[in-house]
Amino acid sequence: MKVLAAMSGGVDSAVAAARAVDAGHDVVGVHLALSRMPGTLRTGSRGCCTIEDSSDAWRACEKLGIPFYVWDFSERFKADVVDDFISEYAAGRTPNPCMRCNEKIKFEALLDKAISLGFDAVATGHYAKIIDGPGGRELHRAATWTKDQSYVLGVLTAEQLAHCYFPLGDTPSKDLVRAEAAERGLSVAQKPDSHDICFIPDGDTRGWLAEQIEMESGPIVGPDGEQLGEHDGAQAYTVGQRRGLKLGRPAADGKPRFVLEIRPKENTVVAGPRELLAVDDITGIRLSWAGAPVAEEATGEWFGIDLQIRAHADPVPARARVQKDHTEHDDARLVVELEEPLQGVAPGQTAVMYQGTRVLGQATIDTARSRHYQPA
């Protein structure tokens, strides 16, 4: 099999490429250049697309004896990830840029180019498994829960899964991957894991957004409309946030307040007690299936799921159904009723559906409703 190995410059992608070589595949390594000005991206191995990362990827390919290329996806990355991130925050939503990068860059732009060049599959260092099920290929959680990355892959479609290759899916721990890298003589064996958002140089999301979005000060109000304080830009807040409110006076009960809602059109932030963050019902848009959809997708009937709304959050039991709207822009919505309330759910986040270890699909959260508090 002809395999294109996506080389981030980290230990996981290096070992994944090495295993693809050991399996007898014809492997070519590629690093994605995601900025025309790489110096503006994070250095010190805190991101995943820096100048140092490109050099580390090249050294890994040289050690493995495979060809290495750098592909310039900077324009696509800016349009589909960075600009999307800005527009979502401007609209009062909380996006996941890594999710969008997987969807639009690594498993759309990269995969499309790989297939057009005659590659059979793209290999990455993600911790997830692909299993051949009765309805076709299925995406499943990795063998180790602590490193499972199936959540951020929930945007993959059946067509994309047919060309994905995850060599690390059955590996019990990251320590074993690092040990294997050291045995192979790969210089990235002890390289720190990447964290944070790669296109925000200092990790200060709020400060970075202030340079991208025109922000104005406005009121912070309670659920009853009483003004509690003032903010310096509603778009830089997110639902569930506690720090940075700077209200100056405590609540009557002495308990902390949290962001309950962002109203960008009114330039208003709503804050209140933690219990009002508890969400009971969710609706999602941009629904996609990671493999064959469930049978109930066609009938609109309820089906049982476990729902996960963050990469490292615990899944919660729920039931879901697909509502066909037959409108011009959105022909299907995901409706979810949670068996137990979920804290701090923000519009713009990604809701990934599971049944057991299998990823069913995902949707972008459009509304999150509480029986005790209804956003405007």
Is 101 known to be catalytic? yes
Same domain, 292 and 316: yes
Residue 299 covered by a domain: yes
Nearest to 276 by CA among 332, 342, 220, 229: 342
Residue 194 covered by a domain: no
Q: Provide the number of structural domains found in the chain.
A: 3
Is 61 known to be catalytic? no
Q: In what order do the strands lie in the sheet with 164-165?
A: 68-72, 26-33, 2-6, 121-123, 164-165
Tens-digit pLDDT profile for residues 154-175: 999 999 999 999 999 999 888 9
Please enumerate in sequence order all residues whose Cβ is within 8 A of that of 7, keeping only pairs 6 or more positions apart, or say none: 13, 14, 17, 29, 30, 31, 57, 60, 61, 68
Decide: 336 and 352 in contact? Cβ < 8 Å. Answer: no
Residue 53 covered by a domain: yes
Q: How many CB atoms lie within 10 A of CB 371?
A: 10
pLDDT at residue 45, rounded to an integer: 40
Same domain, 42 and 126: yes
Tens-digit pLDDT profile for residues 108-137: 999 999 999 999 999 999 999 999 988 899
- How far CA 217 is from CA of 90, 266, 289, 321, 332, in Å, comes to 14, 11, 41, 40, 37
Q: Which of 48, 49, 164, 198 is catalytic?
A: 198
Q: Which of 49, 61, 101, 164 is catalytic?
A: 101
Same domain, 12 and 155: yes
- For residue 43, pLDDT over 90 is answered with no
- For residue 46, pLDDT over 50 is answered with no
Same domain, 264 and 289: no
Q: How far is CA 300 from the centre of its chain?
A: 27
pLDDT at residue 77, rounded to an integer: 93
Model pTM above 0.85:
yes
Q: For residue 156, what is the enclosing H or E element?
A: none
pLDDT at residue 184, rounded to an integer: 97
State the Cα–Cα distance between residues 232 and 361, nearest whole angstrom: 37
Tens-digit pLDDT profile for residues 189-247: 998 887 668 888 777 888 888 888 888 999 999 998 889 999 988 888 889 888 888 88
Same domain, 40 and 93: yes
Nearest to 132 by CA among 292, 345, 241: 292
Same domain, 44 and 166: yes
